[in-house]
Chain A
Amino acid sequence: MVEFLTSTVGLSGWLAWTIAAVVSAVLVLNVIAGGALAFIWAERKVSARIQDRLGPTRTGGRFGWLQSVADGIKLLAKEDLMPQGADGLLFRLAPYVSFCASFCAFIALPFAFDVVGQRLNVAVFFVVAVLGLEVFGVILAGYASASKWSLFGAMREAAQVVSYEVPLGMCVVVPVMIAGTMDMVTIAEKQAGWFWNWYIFHDPFTFVIFWVYVTCAVASVNRAPFDLAEAESELVAGFHTEYSGLRWSYFFMAEYGSMFLVSAMAAVLFLGGWNGPVPLASLAGLSAGTGDTAPYVVRLLGLANLVAKASLGVIVMMWIRWTLPRLRIDQVMATCLKYCTPIAAVMFAGAMLWKIALPGGLVPGLSRPGGEIREGWLPGPGGAAIPGESTRDGSLARVTP
Chain B
Amino acid sequence: MRGTSFLDQFREAVPGAVVGENLTAVDPWVEVVPAKIAEACRWLAKASPVRFDSLQCITAVDWFEPDAKKAAKNTWQPHTELVYHLWSTPAKVSLVLKCELPRWQGDVPGELPELPSVTGVWRGADWHEREVYDLSGVRFTGHPDLRRILCPEDWEGHPLRKDYEQPLDYHGIRGK
A–B interface present (Cβ within 8 A): no
Chain A residues near B (Cβ < 8 Å): none
